[in-house]
Amino acid sequence: MTDRFSDRKFIIGGMIVLPMLFFLARLFFLQVIDPSYKLSADSNVLRNVTQYPSRGLIYDRNGELLVFNEPAYDLMVVPGQLAPFDTAEFCSVLDITKEYVDEEIRKAREYSMFRSSVFLKQISSRNYAVLQEKLHRFPGFYVQSRTLRKYPRDIAAHILGYVGEVDNRIIADNPGYISGDYIGITGIERTYEKELRGDKGVNIFLVDVHNRIMGPYQEGRFNKSATVGSDVTLSLDAALQEYGEKLMQNKIGSIVAIEPSTGEILSLVSAPTYNPDLLVGRVRSRNYRKLASDTLNPLFNRALMAHYPPGSIFKVVNGLIALQEGIVNERTTYSCPGHYTAGRLTVRCRHHFSPVAMQGALQVSCNSYFAHNFRAILDHPKYGSVTNGFNVWSDHVRSFGLGERLETDFPNELRGNVPLASYFDRFYGENRWRSLQMVSLGIGQGELSVTPIQMANMTAAIANRGYYITPHIMKSIENSEIDPAFKKINQTSIDSVWFEPVIEGMYRAVNGPDGGTARMAQVNGLDICGKTGTVQNPHGENHSAFIAFAPRENPRIAIAVYVENAGYGSTWAAPIASLMIEKYLAGEISASRRWLEQRMMDGDFINRARPVNTVTAAGEQD
């Protein structure tokens, strides 16, 4: 007879086994899959303290220290370890408000109850000394050391850049960074972030119920040491940079100086500038807002990003193109009655002899010569059409690194503009435009725009008789090599033989016995070759521009100076450039030129309190 209760054993067994299986599965999930309870337990006895590495030091080309590190302290909080504490005393020690405490603890709890987050950044050494003695009274808080950038000289802010805390966007674009980390935001700090930052480490400590460190966890076997960032040496000459910034005080514009044989940047001045210490520490955000709202825009790097018409300094390129294409030779002359007139267009000229050939035209900056020269290129029968002639001209111009990014080791470099034939096709209609309609390009005006670093690079290509090396600021990196692209020779489309007539004209502009537009740039014994530019500005007084290199043979420096709203190139940009060249090549300014140095430093184009422009030689206004 079958026992009608025999199946009950299976039911009872199931009632016992199934809960056991459920609890086993839950234990497996909690202990193996879900780490939150382990984190909670570990967080009560372990503290992971990140070891932030010191960023690499930055030196100039002569070994002078430009950027170093000084200690700073961040106060960290672990919400899960918080216990009631004396808020008034806490706020007094740190010089903060109760509202700040409540808000930061709220945000920390939203982030994680068991992971640490920054409560207060960059505590001063004085506050840290007081806090350290009382820290045991504030459970859930501990101090983490890091470093801040420090600048021994108030120079080169746009070159060096600054370091800031990562935000969500930066974290998304840069795996490996977490909230609280710092990263290079601009300048060299950004470009060479990987080399400068080093690698983070971690120390794991045991803590007691009062949040006091009892010692390293498992004798430190799981600790990881931080790796210090690599030191770097820039091609910058700190003394020359400081001198350039003094010359450009109370002015708007830029100075860029390059060593032609290497492409190394010797100086890169953007004016107005700012003190790099302003963007360090807890005051960085407040100071950044002030700088960003300044109408003079001191954060804007004019050397890399400002678009300017080059003006008459561009005549050297148009002269080289005409020589290369066989349109003219160095003896070809054009008459100049004091102006160039075609149709309703009139371009004035300020020298007193005619006709002029290439070298004389550069010496006195003859507008008439280069207007004829430019139109002769575009209209030459061998091209078949103005469009084809313009394309030939445009290709030559671009070979000097104009109209394209130079791919320097600076972020945010802009390309300028060299117009294409397609632009005029859209504006006037295909095959419906003529050379007369863009003759202003022959004297560096019109649709043409360049950046100061492109002007300096163009000058280096002329100094090298036909090639340039990509401009760069990095000279060497500890335990690493610089980018091979910064050793590459970039050839222009102009044969080297055609540079001598143009260089002779530039030499005469500065040193000609019968006068030239750049006589104010003459320095005995330095053989400076240069070209002035007075750039038309529809929004105010003209801009002052000048390019130069020296010495004439085996040049050591090529330079471009651009001063906004300063008038004649001969009166301001040319003297500033010559002082920079003399400072670099001779080491000091000669006594006979100290008056000129003082005059340049006193010039004020921001407050408009400046000496009156003067003309010191016939035709020198350009």
Domain boundaries, the chain: 47-234, 238-288+299-602
pLDDT at 471: 98
What letter represents residue 560's amino acid?
Answer: A
Summarize the confidence of residues 603-617 as an average pLDDT. Answer: 62
pLDDT at 618: 38
Give 58's pLDDT tier (boundaries 50, 70, 90): very high
Instruction: Give the residue with greater pLDDT, 406 vs 136.
Output: 406
Positive or negative, the CA dihedral 135, 137, 138, 141 is positive
Least Cα distance to 148 among 169, 115, 125 occurs for 125
pLDDT at 212: 61
Q: DSSP for 419-453?
A: --HHHHHHHH-TT---GGGGGGGGGT-TT-BB-HH
Of the ranges 9-13, 43-47, 337-341, 446-450, the best mean pLDDT one: 446-450
**What is the rounded distance in angstroms from the CA atom of residue 157 to the CA atom of residue 276?**
5
**What is the rounded distance in angstroms from the CA atom of residue 383 to the CA atom of residue 421?**
14
Angle 573-586/238-247 helices, nearest 10 degrees? 160
How does the average pLDDT of the chain come out, rounded? Answer: 90
pLDDT at 373: 95
pLDDT at 44: 60
Pick from 9-13, 79-83, 159-163: least confident? 9-13
**pLDDT, tens digit (0-9, with 9 covering 90-100), for 222-275:** 888 889 999 999 999 999 999 999 999 999 999 999 999 999 999 999 999 999
**pLDDT, tens digit (0-9, with 9 covering 90-100), for 465-479:** 999 999 999 999 998
Give 617's pLDDT tier (boundaries 50, 70, 90): very low
Q: Do domains 47-234 and 238-288+299-602 have the same CATH topology?
A: no
Summarize the confidence of residues 325-330 as an average pLDDT. Answer: 96
CA 393 to chain centroid:
30
pLDDT at 30: 60
Which CATH number is associated with domain 238-288+299-602? 3.40.710.10
With beta carbons less than 8 A apart as the criterion, state whether 438 and 447 touch.
yes
Instruction: Give the residue with greater pLDDT, 600 vs 225.
Output: 600
pLDDT at 46: 75
With beta carbons less than 8 A apart as the criterion, state whether 157 and 273 touch.
yes
Summarize the confidence of residues 321-333 as an average pLDDT. Answer: 96
Give 6's pLDDT tier (boundaries 50, 70, 90): low
**What is the rounded distance in angstroms from the CA atom of residue 170 to the CA atom of residue 182?**
10
**pLDDT, tens digit (0-9, with 9 covering 90-100), for 193-202:** 999 999 988 8
**pLDDT, tens digit (0-9, with 9 covering 90-100), for 517-576:** 999 999 999 999 999 999 988 888 999 999 999 999 999 999 999 999 999 999 999 999
Summarize the confidence of residues 86-110 as an average pLDDT. Answer: 92
For residue 614, is pLDDT > 60?
no
* CA separation, residue 315 to residues 8, 233, 374, 458 (Å): 107, 36, 9, 12
pLDDT at 42: 54
For residue 428, is pLDDT > 70?
yes
pLDDT at 29: 67
58 bridge partner residues = 67, 232
Give 337's pLDDT tier (boundaries 50, 70, 90): confident
pLDDT at 610: 45
For residue 464, is pLDDT > 70?
yes
**What is the rounded distance in angstroms from the CA atom of residue 441 to the CA atom of residue 312?**
10
pLDDT at 9: 66
Going by their DSSP bridges, the two strands 232-234 and 58-59 should be labelled as: parallel
Question: Which token pair is 206?
Answer: 């045991």
For residue 352, is pLDDT > 80?
no
Domain 47-234 has CATH 3.30.1300.30: no
pLDDT at 31: 64
pLDDT at 615: 40
Instruction: Give the residue with greater pLDDT, 110 vs 212.
Output: 110
What letter represents residue 299's amino acid?
Answer: L
The label of the residue with tokens 């019968």 reads 514
For residue 433, is pLDDT > 50?
yes
Least Cα distance to 371 among 341, 406, 394 occurs for 341
Please give the backbone phi and psi of residue 369, each rounded to the nearest 5 degrees, phi first: -55, -50
